[in-house]
Chain A
Amino acid sequence: MDTPIIEFERVSKIYQGGAGPVTALHDVTLRIAAGEFIALIGPSGCGKSTLMRLIGDLEQPSNGTVRIKAKTPDQARRDRDYGIVFQSPVLYDWRTIRKNVELPLEIMGRPKDQRRQRAMELLKLVGLGDFGDAYPHQLSGGMQQRASIARALSFAPSILLMDEPFGALDEITRERLQLELLSIWWEAEPRPTVIFVTHSIPEAVFLADRVVVMSPRPGRVQRVVEVNLARPRAFETREDPQFFALVTEVRECLRATETAG
């Protein structure tokens, strides 16, 4: 692997909670290459969100080092390397959809016409071309989440951090958005590195180049499963025998973490 964009070197994270310290992550070493699509999967409380937050400089490690493009996460954040999508869309109520997508560009001081053009371009890309002037509450949950993806992509960040972005959506919307996300990611220039947290095994396998399987108490990386399915992936990929084999492999892996934990 050429120089990794994200590098975890024996990283631990201990939270000082009310009921004593909690080891959320223990001794995690991980390298992620530029342009990779990584899925994080594991039972609740195994530290997936924590890992993502450490990358994004939303938390600091207790031990070990995190390097992003050979910089500290703090520096990377100041360089606007991260686009973040949470489980809830977190759109600002008082802004129209277009103005929500423009928000990061506004903060970064881009000129007005450039902002507007970029926002419209991205809204078209996520299928919301006609909804730029609507307010968030006028859109369905799936449409809101699309808008939040457009917002994260608006300033072309090199790393996209997604914490269960489709977790609150129904299965049909979810599968459609998975395909859309893949095609947006595949066509983006330059292609961002994606860290995608999920609870769904098929979702992880369908999307990722590598699935990082984590185990709880304390949170560790159990195994990394390489997904060698051809790209670009399509609806039919989910019917591929190799897809089933990989889903089974990840499932077995997760079961092993259960019995080990």
Chain B
Amino acid sequence: MQATTVSTPAVRSTDQVAKWFHILWPPVLTFLVAIALWEGAVWLFEIPIYLLPAPSQIMATFLERPWFLLGIGMVTFSNALMGSAIGCSLGVLVAIFCVRWTFVADGLLPLAVAASAVPIIALSPLMGIWLGSVSAASKIGVIAVMTFFPTLVSVYAGLISPRADALLLMRSYAAPQRDVFLKLRMPAALPFLFNALRVCATLSMIGAVVAEFFGGPRNALGVYIKTQAGILRTREAWSAIMVACLYGLIFYLVIVLIERWVMPWKQRHSGQ
């Protein structure tokens, strides 16, 4: 009966490598094929560079001044990070309030669900009026609002996810409310929280770039994309878009890494 269901660490790590290879090769291959097709199409149909540059040209443009592009990317990314930090923390906090005082939930949650389906980015010009159109504050504000609602809805769902039996168990131990929260509701909500964070990572980077289309400092990604596209310097615009993708991807991956570290029980679970 020993060690039949619990694999040893050595077995697990080679399993993991094989598993990751298995998961990774189809999207990597698809990506490479898509890039190759794009490259081929641009050369074959002689598409003018101001309409659509080839991937190799975009890459070359990026390599001409990588530090400049990564630098302006950083300005935009730090807005995304700041905004989602504020939005997500507030979302978690309000979700906790909603569980503690259910009447708050009854009033707020239907609205929150509706709000997470609305294009909050449309608020950008208004945020510009309130907080200054060039300021980082207006961008951070939009992103905070964007990420607040999905986090609230998801974390609340997580906090109320424990089944009746799990709660009755706590009751039978005469557990104080604090323990029911810390030892049952919170850990049960973790997978929901990370689902929300992954969505917010993507959402906030999009939000940060788009918000800058409505105005921002000259050294920001959104402003750069907009001005370069405006004067038909498409290669420059595309290389900046590539940088936006890069930051978005890194943000997402960092969240995934934290998730695996915080929830070791899920990691092994997904191997089955």
Contact = CB atoms under 8 A, between A and B. Distances in A.
B187 interface: yes
B268 A138 contact: yes
Q: Chain A: interface residue count, which band?
A: 20 to 34
B265 interface: yes
B175 A94 contact: no
B179 A94 contact: no
**Residue among A78, A86, A127, A133 with the highest chain B CB neighbour number at 10 A:** A86
Interface string A86-111: 10101011110000000110111000
A108 B173 contact: yes
Contact of B171 (A58, A92, A106, A140): A58
Q: Is the interface of B mostly helix, strand, loop or mixed?
A: helix
Contacts of A83: 172
B172 to A, nearest CB: 5
Contacts of B1: 127
17 contacts: A56-B172, A58-B171, A77-B172, A86-B165, A88-B165, A92-B166, A92-B183, A92-B188, A93-B265, A94-B190, A94-B265, A95-B187, A103-B183, A130-B2, A133-B6, A134-B6, A138-B6
Name the 8 nearest CB pairs between A and B, nearest first.
A94-B187, A135-B265, A90-B165, A134-B6, A107-B175, A84-B172, A78-B174, A107-B173
Interface of A: 56-58, 77-78, 80, 82-84, 86, 88, 90, 92-95, 103-104, 106-108, 127, 130-131, 133-135, 137-140, 143
Given A84-B168, A127-B1, 15 more contacts: A57-B171, A77-B172, A77-B174, A90-B163, A90-B165, A90-B166, A92-B183, A104-B173, A107-B176, A107-B179, A107-B183, A131-B6, A133-B6, A140-B5, A143-B5
